Amino acid sequence: MTAWATLAAFASAPAHAQGSPIKVGVALDVSGPFAGPGAEARDGFALAIKQLGSKLGGQPAEFVQTDMAGNPDQAKQLVDRFVQREKIDLFTGPIASNVALAVAPTLFAAKVPYLSNNAGPSQLAGAQCNPYFFGTAYQNDQFHEAAGQFAADQKFGRMVLIAPNYPAGKDSLTGFKRKFKGQVADEIYTKVGQIDYATELAQLRAAKPDAVYFFLPGAMGINFIKQFVGAGLSKDITLVTSGFSSDEDVIGAVGEPMLGLFNTTHWAHDLDNAANKAFVAAFRKEYGGRYPSLYAAQAYDVIMAMDAAVKATGGKVSDKEALTKAIAKAQFPSVRGNFRYANNHFPVQNFYLRSIGKNSEGRVTNKTIRTVLENYGDAYAAQCKLK
């Protein structure tokens, strides 16, 4: 992909000056526990960069990328290099919230705007919000609050909740419980990257809940669904999840066992707006006909958000105050349709219910059913002192 520059060498570079390329640090996770979502994000980034001709706001741009493998310590070292040697002007990635929290202090100290294409940790949404952080995709709890609302609407009585033991996993279950009105029979926290769920399935069989809510992104969700259905638990227990564990990347790996699964999301490939239709068509053309996942859509939006902000500043990205104000206006054609940032720089947006079925092509895919939460902000914005 010609859009990418690599970190093969770390020669010292001067701070950005007018006329020199705008530098964007891109943290990828194309190996490690979030490799599946990371690959989707990579493709979303690459499509946007190709469409923009490797420019931002009409100015030449260099996208410096490296694989951070979902590892907080490795990521911190690499972001230190991004800031100190590459002198980046903007930053995006990685997938996981624990990695986002590890790299954020370095970026904030250097006043580098961080547009998160996925991670939306609660720690950065409330009292610790920062003018240089933009949760461009969502705040972690929001996704799961939508699922909790759906579960409440369905009047499930007893549920078991499952998530990995890391910040986004804890946020996920906190968010779900904020809206769910029934009984939580158990909360199960698994290891990050776990792919064998025999113990958890035995717990579910013994608990006999009405439904299970799970947040297990990437390969974790793929294996959990396969094992859950293979164990025959789907006959008696309803599975509920979010888009993270049921989007096109997961469907492609699991297939028909996912038919009938309900999930909630802030984006879907069948959302009816011009920007989304163009994005989905371009993505399918670029990548062999496959539908994009939400990870690809979010990554695409981040590059377009950067483009709009740089354009608004006339390319003067060294003016950090003007740049962050331009980012906060969110004046770009998002594939999600209209959204705006709350004062804490997390989106106020719609969340939708989808179900998995077969389309007219016979392909197993998601179909949007209805809006679950409209113009919905997060629960932490009131604690943020940003105006």
Three-state DSSP string of 207-237: HCCCEEEECCCCHHHHHHHHHHHHCCHHHCC
Q: Compute the distance between CA of residue 128 and CA of residue 119 in angstroms, rounded to an integer.
A: 15
From the list 313, 343, 318, the residue with the least C-alpha distance to 90 is 318
Residue 240 belongs to domain spanning: 142-265+351-376
pLDDT at 197 over 60: yes
Q: Compute the distance between CA of residue 71 and CA of residue 27 in angstroms, rounded to an integer.
A: 11
44 lies in the same domain as 115: yes
Question: Can you read off the two tokens belonging to residue 254?
Answer: 């699991």
Arithmetic mean of pLDDT over the chain:
93
pLDDT 10s digits, 23-64: 999 999 999 999 999 999 999 999 999 999 999 999 999 999
170 lies in the same domain as 189: yes
Q: Give residues with Cβ within 8 angstroms of 161, minimum separation 6.
A: 173, 176, 177, 184, 186, 187, 188, 212, 213, 214
- Please tell me the total count of domains within the chain: 2
**CATH code of 207's domain:** 3.40.50.2300
356 lies in the same domain as 333: no
Look at residue 155 and tell me if it is in a domain.
yes
* Phi (first) and psi of residue 26, to 5 degrees: -120, 110
β-bridge mates for residue 351, sequence order: 373
pLDDT at 4 over 80: no
Q: If pLDDT is split at 50, 70 and 90, which confidence band does 8 have?
A: very low
362 lies in the same domain as 215: yes
Query: So what's the pLDDT on residue 296?
Result: 97
Q: Compute the distance between CA of residue 171 and CA of residue 169 in angstroms, rounded to an integer.
A: 5
Q: If pLDDT is split at 50, 70 and 90, which confidence band does 17 have?
A: low
Residue type, 134: F
β-bridge mates for residue 240, sequence order: 213, 262
Over residues 370-384, mean pLDDT: 97
Q: Compute the distance between CA of residue 355 and CA of residue 261 in angstroms, rounded to an integer.
A: 6
Residue burial 103-126, b: 16+ Cβ < 10 Å; e: rest: bbebbbebebbbbbbbbbbbbbbb
Query: So what's the pLDDT on residue 272?
Result: 96
259 lies in the same domain as 111: no
β-bridge mates for residue 371, sequence order: 352
Look at residue 179 and tell me if it is in a domain.
yes
355 lies in the same domain as 223: yes
Beta strands 59-67 and 114-115, pairing class:
unpaired
Look at residue 383 and tell me if it is in a domain.
no
Look at residue 16 and tell me if it is in a domain.
no
95 lies in the same domain as 173: no
33 lies in the same domain as 156: no
pLDDT 10s digits, 270-290: 999 999 999 999 999 999 999
